[in-house]
Amino acid sequence: MNNMNLALTLLIAGFVIVFVVLILLIVIITLYGKIIQGAQKSSRQRKEKKRQNLGVIQRPESEPEPTPAAVSKPAADTALNDEIPDEIIAVIAAAVDAVYGGKPHKVRAVRRAGNVRSAWGSAGVIHNTRPF
């Protein structure tokens, strides 16, 4: 009977220790998440405040917004636009704008990427990335 009491005591102590450590880990991970979110929020606020302090360059009221028809296109870009649909170019420009955000940027050309792999290399990639 003495061995049974010892085994039961060790079993209960083991369960209590495991659950206390699990609860402690949950608390630590939750606090860590809140600390990281607070740091990210303060970083965003500092960036927005810096943007406000720098000021956004605004067009004068007398100068109208340029329309897409009014923007002149270089001859080289016109040839590329024949290959790539305007919708795709618009999506690429929107992606560039999303990446650069408030920073000044300009999309100068959109070109198709050439096939950089040989036929054997492409076959190897297809073979090795095929689902099971």
Same domain, 34 and 85: no
Q: What pLDDT is recorded for position 54?
A: 72
Domain boundaries, position 74:
67-132
Whether 62 maps to a domain, the answer reads no
Whether 75 maps to a domain, the answer reads yes
Higher local confidence (pLDDT), 99 or 74:
99
Same domain, 75 and 39: no
pLDDT tens-place string over residues 9-57: 999 999 999 999 999 999 999 999 999 999 999 988 888 888 787 765 5
Domain C-terminal end among 14, 35, 56: 56
Question: Rounded to whole angstroms, how far apart are CA atoms 77 and 66?
Answer: 18
Same domain, 18 and 78: no
Radius of gyration from C-alpha coordinates of the chain? 30
Domain C-terminal end among 14, 36, 56: 56
Structural domains in the chain (count) = 2
Same domain, 84 and 106: yes
Whether 61 maps to a domain, the answer reads no
Question: Rounded to whole angstroms, how far apart are CA atoms 13 and 7?
Answer: 10
Question: Rounded to whole angstroms, how far apart are CA atoms 43 and 19?
Answer: 36
Given a cut of 60, whether residue 65 has pLDDT beyond it is no
Whether 103 maps to a domain, the answer reads yes
Q: What pLDDT is recorded for position 64?
A: 52
